[in-house]
Amino acid sequence: MSALNEMSGLKKEPRGKKRKLTAAERKEELVSYLFLAPWLVGLAIITIGPMAASLYLSFTDYNLLQPPEWTGLDNYLRMFEDTRLQNSLGVTFLYVFVSVPLQLIAALALALILDRGMRGLSFYRSVYYLPSLLGGSVAIAVLWRQIFGTSGLINQLLALVGIEGMGWIADPSTALGTLMVLNVWTFGAPMVIFLAGLRQIPTMYYEAAAMDGASKVRQFTTITAPLLTPIIFFNLVLQIIGAFQSFTQAFVVSGGTGGPADSTMFFTLYLYQQGFGNFNMGYASAMAWLLLLIIAAFTFINFIASKWWVFYDD
């Protein structure tokens, strides 16, 4: 009882009255909301509104041109029988699980090299960051088509050393690989974050380790790696989320088909085809929610697992 009384007692005191805001402070609060307003408006109109709409549409049969019809769970049940959807999930998982680790390894390796304080560091940093800015663009995807095409740059280089190339983007066994290479190539963004993380590790640890005669490798495994785990974790979460949502590259490289033979049919691309090609927007909306759940699950698993390997130095 007393506990309850205490709680109700607490409740009786309105929050605002805890401490009176001065006129200036209230004004400041108002200002902060005004500054947030464009973002809040954007969030409501561009994100939350469409999300709510797509949740509704995912329970309907909606062909874009006529009003949606409520069909309950039909769209979700249909996924269990849709082998193309299952194939597209397989393609997407393979892409995420191969290209994200490779990309992070490349990013970390480059960051370690750049961290040694070479001349012209900021120049190199910019150069390596550039692909991250360009990687998701249509122009680069078009370029990729050319580079890996049958008469593209890769095959011309191979021809110089007497190897007969192949149609990299046209062969089902290599097409997805070219997209993975494209993703790995955009290692610049995680690299810059790694670089910032490396700068935060106090040099005294390395000095002490060097005095004790620890090798560079030993210094990396016992100082750099553990202290960098929060950064690795951060990059991992971001890149996994990003990779699940990849669309542009596959769309442009395969000419919107997800081909050859569905080998680059990302989940997002299949969703797009269903929604805009086959007029199954209800089904596409349900797929979008499935993707959201998958990404949420992976992020959740990531956070749980992080307890075992991420080390916070504070």
Partner 1 sequence: MKNFSRSTRTLTAAAAAVVLTVSLGACGNGGGDSAAAGDGNLRFSWWGSDPRHVANQEIIDMFEAENEGITIEGEYSDFGGYWDKLATTTAGRDAPDVITMDEKYLQEYAGRGALADLSTLEGLDTSKFDDAALNLGRYEDGLYGLTTGQNAYVIMANQDLFAQAGMELPDDTTWTWDDYYRISAELTEKLGGDIVGTEYGAQDVDLRIWLRQQGENLYNEDEPGTVGYSPETLTAWFEHLLEVRDGGGPSAARYTEELSGSFEAGGFATNRAAMGWYWSNQLSAVESASGSEVTMLRPPSESGNAAENGMYYKASMYWSVSSQSDDQEAAAEFVNYLANNPEAAKKMLVDRGVPANPDMAAAIAPELNETDQTVVDFLEEISPDMAAAPLPSPVGAGGVQDTVKRYVSEALFDNLTPAEATEKLTAEIEGMISAG
Q: Which is nearer to partner 1, 131 or 275 (CB)?
A: 275
Residue from 254, 268, 285, 306 in contact with partner 1 (CB under 8 A): 254
Q: Which is nearer to partner 1, 128 or 145 (CB)?
A: 145
Amino acid in the structure at residue 179: L
Does 37 bind partner 1 (CB under 8 A)? Our answer is yes
Residue from 169, 236, 288, 310 in contact with partner 1 (CB under 8 A): 169
Tell me which H or E stretch contains 128: helix 121-134
257 to 286: interface string for partner 1, x by CB under 8 A: x-xxxx----------x--xxxx-x-----
Give backbone dihedrals phi and psi of 192, rounded to 5 degrees, phi first: -65, -35
* Binding region for partner 1 (CB under 8 A) out of 26-34, 220-228, 288-296, 298-306: 26-34
Q: Which of 187, 148, 183, 153 is nearest to 169 (CA)?
A: 148
3-state SS assignment for residue 187: coil
Under 8 Å between Cβ of 145 and 252: yes
* Binding region for partner 1 (CB under 8 A) out of 30-38, 47-55, 112-120, 182-190: 30-38
Q: Which of 256, 259, 244, 257 is nearest to 290 (CA)?
A: 244
- Work out how close the CB of 274 gets to partner 1 at its nearest, in angstroms, rounded to a whole number: 9
- Work out how close the CB of 30 gets to partner 1 at its nearest, in angstroms, rounded to a whole number: 7
Under 8 Å between Cβ of 288 and 54: yes
Q: Which is nearer to partner 1, 97 or 276 (CB)?
A: 276
Does 70 bind partner 1 (CB under 8 A)? Our answer is no
Tell me the site size for partner 1, rule CB under 8 A. Answer: 37
Give first-to-last CA distance, the chain, whole Å: 40
Does 138 bind partner 1 (CB under 8 A)? Our answer is no
Give backbone dihedrals phi and psi of 180, rounded to 5 degrees, phi first: -65, -45
- Work out how close the CB of 262 gets to partner 1 at its nearest, in angstroms, rounded to a whole number: 7
Tell me which H or E stretch contains 60: strand 60-61
